[in-house]
Amino acid sequence: MKTKVLLAVVALSYAPLGVAGNKAAYPKEKVAAFVVEKLDLTSLPSTFRPKKEKGKKTFADYRFTTQTVDENEAVVEAAGGVKRLAIKVLDERSSGIYVCVLRSPEKTAARQRRKM
């Protein structure tokens, strides 16, 4: 049981997105799309990010494609469908954007429905 719970771990990731240093304002709309575009994947735990490669940081650099995106949620998929990540914006502040990153969103959602 602990293994299943461990596989369904959700990473709460503070995402300064590299713009805090230049005092740029975070967007008020299309925040999930902004996160997909700017998130530095090397800041995520190794469970969620691809193997580090020199010069690569963003989803685009690692050739992830956006499957769905709305105001505060997005789903991205690695080339070949090897890895899917769901991103949900939890909070937006002047200091940064807080997001939840979840691996394999379909399987986890199905597992949660069965538990109810």
Rounded to whole angstroms, how far apart are CA atoms 92 and 107? 28
pTM value is 0.68
Least confident piece of the model among 3-17, 45-59, 98-112: 3-17
Per-residue pLDDT at 25 = 77
Query: What 3 state SS string does 61-116 have?
Result: CCCCEEEEECCCEEEEECHHHCCEEEEEEEEEECCEEEEEEEECHHHHHHHHHHHC
Query: Where exactly are the structural domains of the chain?
Result: 2-115
Per-residue pLDDT at 68 = 92
Per-residue pLDDT at 104 = 66
Asked whether 45 and 11 are in contact (CB, 8 A), the reply is yes
Per-residue pLDDT at 23 = 53
Mean pLDDT of all residues belonging to the chain: 74
Using one digit for the tens of pLDDT, what is the confidence trace for 37-94? 999 988 888 888 888 889 999 999 999 999 999 999 999 998 888 888 999 999 988 8
What is the token pair recorded at 91? Answer: 């909070």
Higher pLDDT, 17 or 67: 67
Is residue 3 over pLDDT 70? no
